[in-house]
Amino acid sequence: DAEITQSPRHKITETGRQVTLACHQTWNHNNMFWYRQDLGHGLRLIHYSYGVQDTNKGEVSDGYSVSRSNTEDLPLTLESAASSQTSVYFCASSESLANNEQFFGPGTRLTVL
């Protein structure tokens, strides 16, 4: 069955370190997204991609970067982790139409000490 996976599921790191969160989908979807979810906020979009070599900034992109070298993967990199980036991170993918469902990965719980 097609799926979307994230790794690691839990990560503890220190302030200033570079961290990369992996997202892999086997749906063959063109669209992929990274969100963060924090108490008191809805899901907020960090970066997204509509296809290979395409990346776009979302609402809360500062301090994050992504790259899309193939259809299946959209890794999220925190260049220099900050305590404010402690959060739960969800990756999602979808087919191209605007009203299509987004399928979410299981999430990565990141703690920055």
Partner 1 sequence: RKEVEQDPGPFNVPEGATVAFNCTYSNSASQSFFWYRQDCRKEPKLLMSVYSSGNEDGRFTAQLNRASQYISLLIRDSKLSDSATYLCVVNVGGSQGNLIFGKGTKLSVKP
Residues that bind partner 1 (CB under 8 A): 31, 33, 35, 40-45, 48, 50, 56, 58, 90, 94, 96, 98-102, 104-107
Nearer to partner 1, 16 or 73 (CB): 73
Compute the least distance from the CB of residue 38 to partner 1, in Å: 10
Compute the least distance from the CB of residue 80 to partner 1, in Å: 25
Compute the least distance from the CB of residue 93 to partner 1, in Å: 9
* Contact status, residue 7 vs residue 76, Cβ threshold 8 Å: no
Nearer to partner 1, 22 or 43 (CB): 43
Rounded to an integer, what distance in angstroms lies between the CA atom of residue 98 and that of residue 113?
Answer: 38
Full DSSP string of 36-85: EE-TTS--EEEEEEEETTEEEE-TT-TTEEE--SSSSB--EEESS--GGG
- Sheet-wide strand order for 19-25: 4-7, 19-25, 76-78, 64-66
Compute the least distance from the CB of residue 108 to partner 1, in Å: 11
Nearer to partner 1, 43 or 72 (CB): 43
Rounded to an integer, what distance in angstroms lies between the CA atom of residue 72 and that of residue 100?
Answer: 18
Nearer to partner 1, 18 or 29 (CB): 29
